[in-house]
Amino acid sequence: MKFILVGFIYLMFFLSGAAALMYQVLWVRSLSLIFGGSHLAVTAVLSIFMAGLAIGGYIIGKSADSMKKPLRVYGYLELLIGFFAIIFLVLIKLYPYIYIPLAQGRDDNPVYLFLIRIIFSVVVLIVPTSLMGGTLPVLSKFISRHPYDLRNHLSFLYGFNTLGAVAGAIAAGFFFLRFYSVSTTMYIAIVINLLIGFASILLQDRAAEILNNDRKESIVKSKTGKEISRSFTSETKNKNLFPFRLVLWGIGVSGFCALGYEVLWTRILAIVFGASVYGFTTMLAAFLTGIAVGSAAYGVLPKVFNINGNNERVSVVCFGIVQIIIGITSLIVTVYIRDLPLNSMLLQDYFQRFWKEFFKVKIWSNFSLAFLYMFVPAFFMGIAFPLAGKIHAHYRKMVGGAVGEVLAYNTAGAILGAALSGFGMIYLFGIERSLQMLIVINIGFGLFIALSVRNLKIVNWSLPVIVFAVLVFLGVNHDALRIWDTKYFAIFRNNQPEAFDTPEKIEDAVKNTDVLYYVEGVESIVSSIKVKGGYQSFLTNGRVEAATSMEGQQCQYMLGHLPMLLTRDPKKVLVIGTGSGMTLGAISVHHGVEEITLVEIEPKVIGVARTFGNYNHHVFDNPKLKIIFNDGRNFLMTTRNSYDVITADPIHPWFRGAGYLYTSEYFKLASGHLAPGGIMC
């Protein structure tokens, strides 16, 4: 009976994880329509989401150990999450009426806009996400009444919840949002929360009775508990507790590195995946699956990670070793990223044996490639969390509070990792060097934790040595540590697979293509290439955005010339998206133009467009041009200006977020900024 009960609880937490990831996808999408789809705006929303998880885990976890009916409390948490999701649907309809007046006319003040986005995100997200963060420590307390039986339950709870997150991400990204609206999909998640909540409340008394009447488990608990308690107490009397405290910081560093890896791997894998919503969902699913399987594996491998179940110092050493393994496996992944284009083509060739439809081939090859590169490091990241939870529960002699603290530190580290890697590290060091830095941090801190168990003397000399090694690494010239040849990434075109489907073709492309510009930006990886004897192309995340072929020039010039010729005496022009700058250049040659405003989401694209100077009339040296770095849709929401012509560089709707530029709401928004007699093209 207990087996059925525990299985049902795992199932509920699986569904809870699915609903949580659906909310994350839906809330980010809804808020990005108001705040913009830039990386900064999206990261701000995601940071608030994760901050809520950390706050809820810490605060609610503190009181979890004193709860008399934790399963009932868990049910109330799920009901409240559903309730606040309904509140979100109400507030999101009101937000444009509040946000737009506050933001209008401030498009030249990004700090002000960023603060508004943070405040609005906190108001609408912090309560439901804090409630989500409290579910794991509360449920851990219900199912694990003592710290010494936490290992199995925490590993399976965390594993099933993360696996549910995978299901939620796939369901939202591939199915629900393909056939249903955002609000309908959110109602599905709300129903899941409500069903879990009512089931948990009704199940509390019967479930508690089943657990309390399990005499066999009680006997095991009694014997094992005394043994573990006696062992741990004797250790703490005679030796330092520094290693046990260090584990809490270690799980924070683990979260920092884990999200850093995810952001950086996702960015480089986008070269072959493209920037579609399907590509991002695929990478997220692969990463979370590795974590889920790793967490569950820890629960079934006690002999490897918990010798005899009563030596916590061995567990601390194991935690340090796990961090070292994460660093080593991440290093292996980083090395083999240099073969990313070839591996992508080999997998596509393999799946073409089963399907002829390109979309299916692309999706399955992307899934396989993401798992190939991400699964193993993510597997060990999944082991780290329940292992740290078990160690900290023994140290703190509590369940809910310990799990909440581990969750809070891990999530706080994840927030910093995502923010710093996505902005500062990529900008300052590039993707490869940033990955190397994370690897050094992972291995160095893991080594420090493992050595700390030995004695304090080793700690005293090992820390300066590790810090010195990190500083030496940072001082080494990047070229001396370079593994990748970025030319492969610069020239690879994922929408022209026939040109890269064999090693010979890839090498031939490398020899016959000149890279005029390559940079890893905050939003995307961009490059400008020229095939010898051929034409020049502009690539974003491996997809050709613009080219100097006859068809490419005709399309881009037309979007500039056509509205200018059809408008009487246009003075002010707005262009959304840069591309190669040919559309801008076409507009600039019309002598009556007084002001051209360009809205571009990725600052690094300007460098690419400058390499097309012979085709865009060197428009970026034109004093009439004003550049604003923002999401195009968000700019139109917040500007008070009107324009005689509004046009856009050709932007493929396949790109994540670009679809919003092809909706009736967008065209209605743009028409509101047309001057009398103005034209939008």
- pLDDT tens for 449-500 read 888 887 666 666 666 776 777 677 666 666 656 778 888 888 888 777 777 7
Confidence check: pLDDT of 410 > 80: yes
Q: Which residue has the higher pLDDT, 192 or 532?
A: 192
Which 8-state DSSP code applies to residue 541? T
Evaluate whether 655 touches 642 at the Cβ level (below 8 Å): no
Confidence check: pLDDT of 404 > 70: yes
| pLDDT (0 to 100) of residue 644 | 95
Confidence check: pLDDT of 602 > 70: yes
Give 1-217+242-476's CATH code, choosing from 1.20.1250.20, 3.30.390.50, 3.50.50.60, 1.10.3720.10: 1.20.1250.20
Tokens of 398: 């509590």
In this structure, the strands spanning 674-680 and 595-600 are unpaired
Classify domain 557-680 at the CATH superfamily level: Vaccinia Virus protein VP39 (3.40.50.150)
pLDDT band at 192 (very low <50, low <70, confident <90, very high): very high
Region 579-595 average pLDDT: 92
Confidence check: pLDDT of 611 > 70: yes
Evaluate whether 351 touches 361 at the Cβ level (below 8 Å): yes
Question: Which residues, 6 or more positions from 258, have their beta carbon under 8 angstroms from its beta carbon?
Answer: 326, 378, 381, 413, 414, 417
Confidence check: pLDDT of 102 > 80: yes
Between CA 474 and CA 468 the distance in angstroms is 10
Between CA 406 and CA 429 the distance in angstroms is 30
- pLDDT tens for 632-667 read 888 888 888 999 999 988 877 666 667 778 888 889
Evaluate whether 625 touches 619 at the Cβ level (below 8 Å): yes
Using alpha carbons, list the distances in angstroms from residue 29 to 100, 182, 494, 665: 18, 8, 25, 15
pLDDT over 70, % of the chain: 88
**Residue matched to tokens 């594993």:** 159
Query: Which phi-psi region, left, alpha or beta, contains residue 232 (left: φ > 0; alpha: ψ -120 to 50)?
Result: alpha
Mean pLDDT computed over every residue of the chain: 85
Confidence check: pLDDT of 230 > 50: no
User: Where would I find the H helices in 104-241?
Assistant: 110-143, 150-170, 177-179, 182-212, 215-238
| 649 catalytically annotated | yes
Evaluate whether 110 touches 634 at the Cβ level (below 8 Å): no
pLDDT band at 587 (very low <50, low <70, confident <90, very high): very high
| pLDDT (0 to 100) of residue 99 | 84
As a CATH number, domain 486-547 is 2.30.140
Region 265-279 average pLDDT: 79
- pLDDT tens for 541-550 read 888 888 999 8
Between CA 319 and CA 581 the distance in angstroms is 52
**Residue matched to tokens 């890697």:** 421
Between CA 157 and CA 141 the distance in angstroms is 11
Confidence check: pLDDT of 172 > 80: yes
pLDDT band at 53 (very low <50, low <70, confident <90, very high): very high
pLDDT band at 415 (very low <50, low <70, confident <90, very high): very high
Q: Calculate Rg over the CA atoms of the chain.
A: 27
Confidence check: pLDDT of 583 > 80: yes
Tokens of 587: 């507009």
Between CA 543 and CA 491 the distance in angstroms is 10
Confidence check: pLDDT of 262 > 70: yes
Per mean pLDDT, which range of 10-14, 166-170, 429-433 is the poorest?
429-433
User: Where would I find the H helices in 239-352?
Assistant: 242-273, 277-300, 302-305, 312-336, 340-351
Q: Classify each residue of 124-135 as buried b or exposed e, where b means 16 or more C-beta atoms within 10 Å of its C-beta.
A: bbbbbbbbbbbb
Question: Which residues, 6 or more positions from 545, have their beta carbon under 8 angstroms from its beta carbon?
Answer: 538, 539, 579, 580, 650, 651, 652
Between CA 15 and CA 72 the distance in angstroms is 17
Between CA 533 and CA 377 the distance in angstroms is 43
Q: Which residue has the higher pLDDT, 245 or 109?
A: 245
Which amino acid would we find at residue 380? F
**Residue matched to tokens 């009556």:** 592
Tell me the β-bridge partners of 625: 596
Q: Which residue has the higher pLDDT, 108 or 54?
A: 54
Where exactly are the structural domains of the chain? 1-217+242-476, 486-547, 557-680
Which amino acid would we find at residue 604? K
| pLDDT (0 to 100) of residue 310 | 53
Per mean pLDDT, which range of 76-80, 115-119, 159-163, 442-446 is the poorest?
115-119
Find the Cα–Cα–Cα–Cα dihedral 2, 7, 11, 12, rounded to 10°.
10
Q: Which residue has the higher pLDDT, 117 or 675?
A: 675
Using alpha carbons, list the distances in angstroms from residue 154 to 36, 217, 391, 400: 38, 17, 12, 11
In this structure, the strands spanning 525-531 and 513-520 are antiparallel
149, 631, 644, 649: the active-site residue = 649
Query: Which phi-psi region, left, alpha or beta, contains residue 577 (left: φ > 0; alpha: ψ -120 to 50)?
Result: left
Q: Which residue has the higher pLDDT, 222 or 124?
A: 124
Tell me the β-bridge partners of 626: 597
Between CA 641 and CA 639 the distance in angstroms is 6
Per mean pLDDT, which range of 137-151, 396-410, 591-605 is the poorest?
137-151
**Residue matched to tokens 């390499």:** 611
Which 8-state DSSP code applies to residue 601? S
Evaluate whether 634 touches 41 at the Cβ level (below 8 Å): yes
- pLDDT tens for 324-382 read 999 999 999 999 888 888 888 888 888 888 887 777 888 888 889 999 999 999 999 99
Q: How many Å is the maximal CA-CA distance in the chain?
A: 90
Q: Which of 56, 69, 71 is nearest to 6 (CA)?
A: 71
Counting runs of H as helices and runs of E as strands, what totals does the chain give?
26, 9
**Residue matched to tokens 């910081």:** 249
Q: Classify each residue of 344-353 as buried b or exposed e, where b means 16 or more C-beta atoms within 10 Å of its C-beta.
A: bbebbeebbe
Question: Which residues, 6 or more positions from 674, have their beta carbon under 8 angstroms from its beta carbon?
Answer: 642, 643, 644, 646, 680
